[in-house]
């Protein structure tokens, strides 16, 4: 199953001018457990999807909210020349088709 099929919310946004955050929320405890146990939703897998080192990926499971928050460095400072997504709102796309 693809992550986009499991997640009830999958979005990204800025967490400051240098950091992106991706929020993944699940409707059920079963989907949350399956996703957080999957190697496809690990720091190395997320790092590969974004072309960054695993050491810069911060993966924060939030079981009380059935959510996972992922923090990554932005490839370019928000609002700088060449920034094509000043709000970071389209940066979740590399995770949509992860097989969970």
Distance CA 28, CA 33 (A): 9
- Chain segment 63-84, per-residue pLDDT in tens: 999 999 999 999 899 999 999 8
- For residue 60, the model assigns a pLDDT of 97
Backbone angles phi, psi at 74, to 5 degrees: -70, 145
**pTM of the complete model:** 0.92
- For residue 26, the model assigns a pLDDT of 98
Contact 78, 14 (CB under 8 A): yes
- Averaged pLDDT score across all residues of the chain: 96
Spatial neighbors of 58 by CB under 8 A, at least 6 apart, are 43, 70, 71, 72
Q: What's the token pair of residue 54?
A: 């695993």
Chain mean position to CA 74: 12
- For residue 31, the model assigns a pLDDT of 97
- Chain segment 51-65, per-residue pLDDT in tens: 999 999 999 999 999
- For residue 90, the model assigns a pLDDT of 93
Domains of the chain: 3-74 (3.30.70)
């Amino acid at each position: 199953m693809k992550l986009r099929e499991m997640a009830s919310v999958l979005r990204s946004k800025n967490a400051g001018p240098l950091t992106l955050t991706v929020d993944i929320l699940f409707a059920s405890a079963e989907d949350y457990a399956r996703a957080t146990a999957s190697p496809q939703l690990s720091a190395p897998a997320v790092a590969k999807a974004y072309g960054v080192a695993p050491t810069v990926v911060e993966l924060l499971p939030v079981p009380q909210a059935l959510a996972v928050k992922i923090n990554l460095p932005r490839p370019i400072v928000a609002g700088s020349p060449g920034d094509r997504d000043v709000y970071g709102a389209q940066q979740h796309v590399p995770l949509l088709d992860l097989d969970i």
